[in-house]
Amino acid sequence: MTIGTDVDEEATPRAGLAHRAPARHTARWVGVSTLVIAAGLIAVLATRPSALTVEAKNPLVDNHAVAPTIAGATVDGTPFRLARAPGHYVVVNFFASWCVPCQEEGPELVAFQFQHHQSGTASMLSVVFNDTAPAARDYQAKIGATWPTMADANGRLALAYGVRENPTSFVIAPDGRVVASVLGGATAAGLDKILAKAEAAGYGT
């Protein structure tokens, strides 16, 4: 009986350890999995396009200035000139093909153009900033952009509008005045809100 009792006392703690070891192993993997999932969610949230279209202060907007002349050659080599008073709203978007925020807002600009194409209330116009014409042309074709894209190799247009970084957009009213400046990525819904605000302010179509 004494021997049997000694064996049982030895075996009991070891059995407990054997049961606890897999539990610790499982808990460790659950913790690692949770961290991996959390990191994935953070990455998705960090790279998804912003739901906001942030207006920025700009002398052209503050002074209700007429938009600087946009004229020259497109990335396809076609001459283009924006009318002094275009008769509808025009979103002028300065961008580069390598710019991540530009890539994120690209589909939004395509959607905006599509929404307003039939009604003729607004249109898109892009200007290449700190990029090559071939790279910009390939990028525009990839996202399905069908509007004119100015080459601006000498940076003349960027200088006239005071552009310092990509992406930067300007909203030009039908009468040719600059009514808004957007720094960073824009959304179709955000641009629509800017147009509605300009309408309410009496710029009209």
Residue-wise pLDDT for 76-102, tens only, equals 999 999 999 999 999 999 999 999 999
User: In terms of pTM, does the model score above 0.95?
Assistant: no
Instruction: Report residues of the chain scoring pLDDT below 70.
Output: 1-52, 205
- The pLDDT of residue 57: 83
- The pLDDT of residue 182: 96
Q: What is the torsional sign of CA 164, 167, 173, 175?
A: positive
Structure tokens at 47: 């790279």
- The pLDDT of residue 53: 80
